[in-house]
Amino acid sequence: MTKKISVIIPVYNTQKDLSRCLDSILVQTHKNLEVILVNDGSSDNSGKICDRYAEDNANVSVIHVDNGGQGRARNLGLDVASGDYIMFCDSDDSYDDDMAEHLFNAITAHSECNIAMCGLKITFSASHIDNRLVYKTPFISDADSILEMYFSVDKILSSPVNKIYKKFVFDSLRYPEGMIYEDRFISLEMFIKNPLIYFTGEPKYNYYIREGSTIQSAFSAKKLDFLKVCDNDIALIGNYAPQYLSQAQKSYCDTIVMLLRTIIVEDYKRHKETYNNLVILLKEKCVEYKELLPKKALRYYKRFYQIKHGTMFYYLLRNKVGRLLKRLKAK
């Protein structure tokens, strides 16, 4: 019999999209699937939908828990998974019908790889679909290329949803609980331990950007969790691959700038104290990292604390102009 794949799906208040997701999993051309639904304290009808699918399909099981976040939900799924391989899906997304078979064939054909990865189709609206991590020629990464990609390619590289893993990859890895960006937090360690990754080049995962998702939501203190990711990356790189330390340091400063720009655009008055603390942190990191940071990047970062109000005005004006142009284009 074909080896089993465990598909782990954390579920939280996605009743509108959940059936689309589960239907796409159940019609996979790779038939030996175990589907593990972790209902993470949903307050809508998601839990009932999960139960209905479990009643109607022998290969679907449900774990109901109080809300604890996506990291804990994935860990609970990993704890009970019995498959030879692991895949993940977000409950508001979907697979192409042959995605599991596509990735299974890829990883079994390249036994030296513990992870195989396909591309994604990111749907922002019915008329806007953006393909990511798509390559004309499949390839296998090595230690240098995967670390270079980790720091320079679209951060969606770290998402677990477009990958298949040999189960033992998670023997010594679990997602941090109680934080967002949990996938990014463990990705660097995973890539260091498993640098040979097969990139198939074909987009098979359908990633839907919905209102209220983490990537689209307004600024909150939880977004500061990305700084924990950066701290973790710098510690790991210092021990395993110090030649990439400058890129890790630049990523840290870029993250601070991203947070500053988000606050400027969304609600500076409400988050003024956080903004000022981030400006101080950016200045401290520029001093700490000045030996390795590129001079051009340093000049850019300094704008945020040397000409603070001018920089704020620039990004606020740019955002307003951008919104105006979008409205005009829509007409």
- Confirm whether 168 is domain-assigned: yes
**Structure confidence at residue 128 (pLDDT):** 75
CA distance 290 to 286: 5
Q: At what angle do helices 295-306 and 272-289 cross, to 10 degrees?
A: 150
pLDDT (0 to 100) of residue 220:
87
Tokens of 129: 């679909």
pTM summary value:
0.92
Q: What's the whole-number mean pLDDT along residues 192-211?
A: 92
Looking at the structure, do residues 38 and 128 belong to the same domain, yes or no? yes
User: In this predicted structure, what is the pLDDT of residue 330?
Assistant: 64
The model's confidence at residue 154, banded by pLDDT at 50, 70 and 90, is confident
Cα–Cα distance for residue pair 223/262, rounded to 1 Å:
10
State percent of the chain over pLDDT 90: 81
Mean pLDDT of 26-41: 98
Confidence of residue 209 (pLDDT cuts 50, 70, 90): confident
What CA–CA distance (Å, rounded) separates 254 from 252?
Answer: 5
pLDDT of 205 > 50? The answer is yes
Give domain status of residue 213, yes or no: no
Q: CB burial class (10 A; 0-12, 13-18, 19+) of residue 72?
A: buried
Q: Which residue has the tokens 């604890």?
A: 68
Domain boundary among 148, 174, 208: 208
Mean pLDDT of 266-271: 88
Mean pLDDT of the region 309-322: 84
Task: Give residue-wise pLDDT tens across range 54-110.
Answer: 999 999 999 999 999 999 999 999 999 999 999 999 999 999 999 999 999 999 999
Which of residues 150, 179, 208 is at a domain's end?
A: 208
Q: Which residues of 82-92 are buried (b: 16+ CB within 10 A; e: fewer)?
A: ebbbbbbbbbb
pLDDT at 152: 86
Q: Return the HEC string of 125-172.
A: ECCEEEEECCCCCCEECCHHHHHHHHHHCCHHHHCCCCEEEEHHHHCC
Both 203 and 231 in one domain: the answer is no
Residue 326 — pLDDT band, cuts 50, 70, 90?
Answer: confident
What token pair was written down for 60? 């679907």
Cα-based angle 326, 159, 3 (whole degrees, multiple of 5)? 135
Q: What is the mean pLDDT of residues 14-18?
A: 96
Residue 214 has pLDDT above 60, yes or no: no
Beta bridge partners of 62: 37
Q: Is residue 216 part of a domain?
A: no
Contacts of 329 (CB under 8 A, 6+ apart): none
Q: Do 189 and 91 share a structural domain?
A: yes
Which of 220-229, 273-282, 312-321 shows the lowest mean pLDDT across its residues? 312-321
Q: For the chain, how many structural domains are there in total?
A: 2
The whole-number pLDDT of residue 211 equals 56
Q: Are residues 204 and 229 in the same domain?
A: no
259 occurs within a structural domain: yes
Dihedral pair phi/psi, residue 241, rounded to 5°: -150, 70
Helix (H, G, I), strand (E, B) or coil at 5: strand
* Domain-ending residue, one of 153, 178, 208: 208
Per-residue model confidence (pLDDT) at position 319: 81
Between 72 and 330, residue with greater pLDDT: 72
pLDDT tens profile 269-311 = 899 999 999 999 999 999 999 999 999 999 999 999 998 888 8
Same domain for 146 and 15 = yes
**Residue 215 included in any domain:** no
Output the six-digit token pair for 202.
Answer: 């074909």
The per-residue pLDDT for range 101-137, each reduced to its tens digit, is 999 999 999 999 999 999 999 987 666 788 888 999 9
Q: What is the CATH number of the domain that holds 48?
A: 3.90.550.10
Range of the domain at 270: 221-330
Do the beta carbons of residue 204 and residue 144 sit within 8 Å?
A: no
pLDDT (average), residues 126-155: 88
